[in-house]
Amino acid sequence: STNWSHFLAPGHHPRADSLSDRHLALVQFADAAAQHRVVKDVIDRLMQATPIRRGALNALEWTLNEVTDNVLNHAESAEGGYVQMAVLPDRVALCVVDVGQGMLRSLRGAFLHLKDDTEAIEYALRQGVTRDPSIGQGNGLKGSLRLAMGFGGRFEIRSHRGRILWEA
């Protein structure tokens, strides 16, 4: 009912529509137009489903734009990425995933000293770190982490064998 089965084995599981006004089933985005549609859909659902403060809503929209943009610009995945959202009693859960090359491989071309996936995640979270300054300033992940912590949230990044979790 959340579309994970559909995207993992489309021939065996039908596509699910959105679950309700409080949930967005997993949706795919592979280009800027689809990315903008999914971000708009998430924000529209949040405005309808919860009395979220304008500052928190703006922060979530900025974060979702930054992370989905990273997928399109750095993952090098023909499939693009996927987004799922759920409004829970005490929080909003957003999940952005891709099946791309991972942070280590993406960054290693510009930062040869990186040894493993966890180190690549840690490095990517530094202010101003980007593998290609012509397509990014390197502020998205660091800013997203700061916003999540500032709102008392949780922020998790996984990339291949690397995983880092922060909780406010």
Nearest CA among 81, 71, 44 for reference residue 60: 44
The answer to whether 83 touches 104, Cβ cutoff 8 Å, is: no
Q: Determine the 3-state secondary structure of 45 from DSSP.
A: helix
116: left (phi over 0), alpha (psi -120 to 50) or beta: beta
* pTM for this prediction: 0.90
Nearest CA among 149, 46, 58, 59 for reference residue 92: 46
pLDDT in tens, the chain (168 residues): 788 898 999 899 988 876 677 889 999 999 999 999 999 999 999 998 888 889 899 999 999 999 999 999 999 999 999 999 999 888 899 999 999 999 999 999 889 999 999 999 999 999 888 887 878 788 899 999 999 999 999 999 999 999 999 998
